[in-house]
């Protein structure tokens, strides 16, 4: 149609300013879409590294105040969970399995003449190992008293193989552990972070550190039971008089982490939206210019029988062309930008080609087109409603 043709030619005539307006839209789309992509990749990365947690509830000794995360090693005896408390937990959560875990951090040395390193050391009774669902990349679950499992990163960093020996404590003062198995990478975990740790037996740990109390109790919740219910049951049982333990529901914690990431993604996308608003203003600006410099032309068109809606369509087409081209280029570039940002910030681009990415790009492109049309609408309406006589008299 002729108005489409005129719109195209007018854009070509004002190539520079049309291109600049398109650039604004490109930036807006890239900002929104790449922020969305980054957010999605972030969530995907986190969920991947947390997914091995499964349904567990973790009981920590109450630290007073804050409570929660990582009631790790080095805590004093009254900051521990007693065996009596453990028995209470065990009864309360049945048929889910309660696993007592001891932990500390320790200085150690691998091989002869190696450097001193410090790593977490856990004590877990071998009978619970199947419940913890450790996947091994080599060796087997240890049963021997002086055997241990090590995490993948720890093994890699220190060149450890099945059968390697680790001398514990300063100058081997805590004896030697023999590696019987290497646990596959599990990522960050709420219960036991194995990747950089040594998992010894409970007996060895108690013997070595002369302790009988536990640092945490991990409850692997059986399917059919709800983590939230288990948490409530434990709190009811143990915190009757004083708050002695804090209980973390991994599922709820995970949910709130996702919620937080979701909010962050929304927030950064909204910041991207600001650049889209700026782009919209520039579209509005050039459309107003386009109308103002063509008042006379509009007057002629109207006087020789062009309907209002036809005049309007001509300007809407113009805004639409800028919007669609700008948004399409923006869509393509946002994939590139998303790739670059993911590669730089997450050191991984494996989450790029997902449905969520497609949605983010779609969202950015759609938003770009809508903004262009919305910002072109008022100038177009104004053009259509010019008084033909006044427009004709315009010089």
Ligand X SMILES: Nc1ncnc2c1ncn2[C@@H]1O[C@H](COP(=O)(O)OP(=O)(O)O)[C@@H](O)[C@H]1O
* Shortest separation between residue 390's beta carbon and ligand X, angstroms: 5
Residue 251 makes contact with other proteins by CB under 8 A = no
Segment 309 to 368, residues that bind other proteins, using CB under 8 A? 310
Residue 303 interacting entry, from ligand X, other proteins, none, C-beta within 5 to 8 Å by type: other proteins
Residue 302 makes contact with other proteins by CB under 8 A = yes
* Shortest separation between residue 393's beta carbon and other proteins, angstroms: 8
Q: Which position among 244, 390, 394, 395 is part of the footprint of ligand X (CB under 6 A)?
A: 390
Kind and range of the H or E element at 90? helix 83-93
* Shortest separation between residue 9's beta carbon and other proteins, angstroms: 4
> Measuring CA to CA, which residue among 377, 368, 369 is closest to residue 313?
377
CB under 8 Å to 291, separation ≥6 — which residues? 298, 315, 379, 380, 382, 383
Residue 389 makes contact with other proteins by CB under 8 A = yes
* Shortest separation between residue 20's beta carbon and other proteins, angstroms: 20
Q: Is 178 helix (H, G, I), strand (E, B) or coil?
A: strand
Residue 135 makes contact with ligand X by CB under 6 A = no
**Residue 49 tokens, joined:** 């590294």
Q: What CA–CA distance (Å, rounded) separates 93 from 225? A: 9
Chain position carrying tokens 């309660």: 98
Q: What CA–CA distance (Å, rounded) separates 83 from 234? A: 15
Stretch that binds other proteins, among 143-151, 186-194, 213-221, 301-309 (CB under 8 A): 301-309
Does residue 59 contact residue 233 with C-beta atoms inside 8 Å? no
Segment 157 to 186, residues that bind other proteins, using CB under 8 A? none
CA 170 to chain centre: 39
Q: Which is nearer to other proteins, 150 or 384 (CB)?
A: 384
Does residue 326 contact residue 387 with C-beta atoms inside 8 Å? no
Residue 388 makes contact with other proteins by CB under 8 A = yes
Phi, psi (rounded to 5 degrees) for 81: -100, 125
Q: Which position among 230, 389, 391, 394 is part of the footprint of ligand X (CB under 6 A)?
A: 389
Residue 296 makes contact with ligand X by CB under 6 A = no
Q: Which position among 19, 239, 306, 349 is part of the footprint of other proteins (CB under 8 A)?
A: 306
The β-bridge relationship of strands 97-110 and 147-151 is unpaired
Q: Which position among 16, 112, 118, 304 is part of the footprint of other proteins (CB under 8 A)?
A: 304
Which class for 298: exposed (0-12), middle (13-18), buried (19 or more C-beta within 10 A)?
A: buried
Summarize as ranges the residues that interact with other proteins (CB under 8 A): 1-2, 5-6, 9-10, 13, 296-297, 300-308, 310, 388-389, 392
Summarize as ranges the residues that interact with ligand X (CB under 6 A): 389-390, 393
């Amino acid at each position: 149609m002729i108005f489409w043709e005129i719109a195209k030619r007018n854009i070509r005539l004002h190539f520079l300013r049309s291109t600049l307006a398109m650039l604004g839209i490109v930036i807006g789309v890239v900002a929104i879409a790449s922020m969305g992509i980054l957010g999605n990749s972030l969530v995907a990365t986190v969920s991947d590294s947390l997914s091995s947690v499964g349904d567990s509830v973790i009981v920590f000794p109450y630290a007073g105040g804050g409570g929660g995360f990582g009631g790790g090693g080095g805590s004093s005896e009254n900051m521990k969970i007693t065996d009596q408390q453990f028995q209470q937990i065990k009864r309360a959560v049945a048929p889910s399995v309660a696993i007592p875990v001891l932990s500390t951090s320790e200085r150690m040395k691998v091989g002869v003449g190696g450097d001193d390193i410090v790593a977490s050391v856990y004590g877990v009774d071998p009978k619970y190992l199947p419940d913890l669902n450790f996947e091994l990349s080599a060796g087997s679950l240890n049963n021997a008293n002086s055997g241990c499992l090590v995490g993948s990163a720890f093994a890699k960093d220190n060149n450890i193989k099945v059968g390697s020996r680790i001398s514990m404590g300063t100058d081997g003062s805590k004896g030697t552990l023999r590696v019987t198995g290497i646990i596959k990478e599990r990522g960050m975990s709420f219960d036991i972070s194995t990747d950089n740790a040594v998992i010894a037996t409970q007996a060895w740990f108690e013997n070595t550190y002369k302790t009988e109390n536990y640092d945490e109790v991990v409850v692997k919740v059986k399917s059919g039971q709800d983590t939230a219910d288990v948490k409530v049951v434990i709190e009811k049982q143990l915190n009757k008089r004083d708050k002695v333990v804090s209980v973390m529901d991994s599922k709820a914690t995970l949910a709130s982490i996702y919620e937080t990431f979701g909010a962050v993604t929304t927030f950064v996308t909204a910041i991207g939206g600001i650049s889209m608003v700026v782009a919209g203003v520039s579209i509005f600006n050039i459309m107003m210019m386009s109308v103002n410099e063509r008042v006379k032309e509009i007057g002629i068109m109207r006087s020789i029988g062009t309907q209002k809606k036809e005049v309007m369509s001509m300007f809407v087409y113009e805004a639409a062309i800028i919007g669609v081209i700008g948004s399409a280029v923006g869509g393509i570039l946002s994939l590139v930008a998303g790739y670059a940002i993911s590669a730089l910030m997450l050191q991984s681009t494996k989450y790029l080609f997902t449905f969520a990415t497609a949605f983010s790009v779609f969202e950015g492109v759609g938003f770009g087109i809508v903004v262009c049309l919305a910002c072109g609408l008022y100038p177009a309406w104004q053009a259509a409603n010019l008084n033909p006589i006044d427009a004709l008299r315009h010089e």
